[in-house]
Amino acid sequence: MNINSKPYFYNLIKTTCLFAVGVSLVLNSFTLIRGGAAGGPFEVMLLFFVTLLGFFKLIENYKFNFLPLVALIYLLLIMAPLTLLNLYFELMGSSLRTLIALLFGASLGFIIANTNIYEQEKIAKGGGMVIIFAFIAALFLEVDLSNLQRLIFLTENPNQIAMYSLCMIFLISWSVKNKTLSVILNLFSIGYGLFALSDTFLLSLAIILMFILLSILIKGKILSGLIIFWGLLLVLSYALIFPENSLIDYFLGIWRTADEGGGRITLALNGFLAFLESPVFGHGAGAFSGVDIPMMRFEAHNTIIDFLTMGGIPFVIIVYLPFLLAAKELLYNSKYLILGILVAIVVFSLFHFIGRHPIFWFVWGCSISIVMHYKNISKEKLCAE
């Protein structure tokens, strides 16, 4: 049934619902306001509005794509029993809270995978408005710039702010069609993410910039291409002219700081060793890496490795395949900016465990909808021929 045939009041309620989904989504990043990382009213708010959105879909006789349910089914049939069993045998690292977070995220992802670009635009605008207000509030309340590293006003984890900002840039860039509004919302999102002073966020921005430059080169803009070429020559010549200030040493220094004395590599390695102990279906939800040996209740700080320890190879395929398929469609349709942001999110996930956050599953669901969007366009072209 066409939504435009619905009464004005119905459309108003649904639009408000979509906007509220975006608002409550970003509010989930504010752990200090919502009352702790274990959850709170904003999760309930998000669940309510997403459930209401699903109800609207039922009223409109929407033909659901049930393929995105595979993540939820895997969690219920494989990971939930494993988690409960390992909790019973007191396996160190097993976590019921992580299981609930994954079930929550996969449920949200299913609904978002069944939204269209116009609905996603309203969600993105709702989240974007929260980003703007939070950015302004942070400017006024965080006077001492040295404290911005922890962004005390909103969260104890700077990478959480960076991750939400990066995912919002993706949702905004994909769905908001008004170019001016898209640029404004993205600038606020970038600025807000920079508050966290996250090395991984800066790396993500560099990846996005590389894809922007790639799109300029592909479009054959000679002047822009020459500017990029001269810029690269300048960077290379700097290392030759000033060998004592080698750029390689500079970037190695950034890596040593980010790696925290080899801690990240150790956690990733021990996480992988924990995965090898149960490579098919994993150990269930929880944290199974360690600073000395595996199974010490530490996260690997790498979403792929953490998911391998929890759900094995099948779960990683279920989660990351939609990103790969969406990237293929975006590349084929020359959407280089959005492709770059998606790649940046995947790279970001290699340095942190972001799988329990609702916005990660929004990107997952949106990736599925992107694939379906372009497949529908291809079908329409074939029918027209």
Considering Cα of 350, then 120, then 330, then 310, what sign does the dihedral take? Answer: positive
For residue 351, how many C-alpha atoms fall within 13 Å in the half-sphere facing its CB? Answer: 20
Mean pLDDT is highest, among 2-16, 35-49, 228-242, 354-368, for: 354-368
Instruction: Tell which wins on pLDDT, 385 or 333.
Output: 333
Residue 181 has pLDDT above 90, yes or no: yes
The stretch 148-164 carries a mean pLDDT of: 68
Instruction: Tell which wins on pLDDT, 29 or 221.
Output: 29
pLDDT band at 38 (very low <50, low <70, confident <90, very high): very low
Lowest mean pLDDT among 138-152, 284-298, 368-382: 138-152
3-state secondary structure of 255: helix
pLDDT band at 149 (very low <50, low <70, confident <90, very high): very low
Q: What is the pLDDT of residues 41-98, one digit of tens each?
A: 888 899 999 999 999 999 888 899 999 999 999 999 999 999 999 999 888 889 999 9
3-state secondary structure of 289: strand
Contact 101, 43 (CB under 8 A): no
The stretch 300-318 carries a mean pLDDT of: 96
Q: Which of 225, 227, 205, 208 is nearest to 217 (CA)?
A: 225
The stretch 169-175 carries a mean pLDDT of: 97
The DSSP code sequence of 141-152 is H--SGGGTTTTT
Q: Which of 319, 314, 285 is nearest to 299 (CA)?
A: 285
Q: Which of 27, 6, 15, 103 is nearest to 52 (CA)?
A: 15
pLDDT at 155: 65
Instruction: Tell which wins on pLDDT, 368 or 223.
Output: 368
Q: Say what percent of the chain tops pLDDT 70.
A: 79
Residues in Cβ contact with 103 at an 8 Å cutoff, skipping those fewer than 6 apart: 72, 75, 76, 80
Residue 191 has pLDDT above 60, yes or no: yes
Contact 130, 123 (CB under 8 A): no
Contact 326, 182 (CB under 8 A): no
Contact 167, 362 (CB under 8 A): yes
Contact 30, 42 (CB under 8 A): yes
Cross-strand bridge partners of residue 289: 298
List helix spans (H) across the chain. 8-27, 31-34, 41-59, 69-74, 80-88, 96-113, 117-141, 158-175, 179-194, 199-218, 222-241, 247-259, 263-276, 303-332, 336-349, 358-384
Residue 10 has pLDDT above 50, yes or no: yes
Q: What is the pLDDT of residues 353-368, one digit of tens each?
A: 999 999 999 999 999 9
Q: Which of 229, 187, 185, 184 is nearest to 205 (CA)?
A: 187
CA dihedral 8, 9, 11, 15 (to 10 degrees): 130
pLDDT at 37: 45
Instruction: Tell which wins on pLDDT, 112 or 40.
Output: 112
Instruction: Tell which wins on pLDDT, 123 or 38.
Output: 123
Instruction: Tell which wins on pLDDT, 181 or 8.
Output: 181
Instruction: Tell which wins on pLDDT, 102 or 231.
Output: 102
pLDDT at 67: 93
The DSSP code sequence of 260-278 is TTTHHHHHHHHHHHHHHTS
pLDDT at 127: 96
Residue 227 has pLDDT above 90, yes or no: no
Residue 317 has pLDDT above 70, yes or no: yes
Average pLDDT across the chain, whole number: 84
Q: CA 197: distance to chain centroid?
A: 18
Q: Which of 115, 123, 99 is nearest to 24 (CA)?
A: 123
Determine how many CB atoms are found less than 10 A away from the CB of residue 276: 11
pLDDT at 19: 97
3-state secondary structure of 206: helix
Distance, CA of 77 to CA of 75 (rounded, Å): 6
Residue 333 has pLDDT above 50, yes or no: yes
Q: CA 232: distance to chain centroid?
A: 30
pLDDT band at 150 (very low <50, low <70, confident <90, very high): very low
Residue 210 has pLDDT above 70, yes or no: yes
Q: Which of 148, 141, 121, 171 is nearest to 358 (CA)?
A: 171
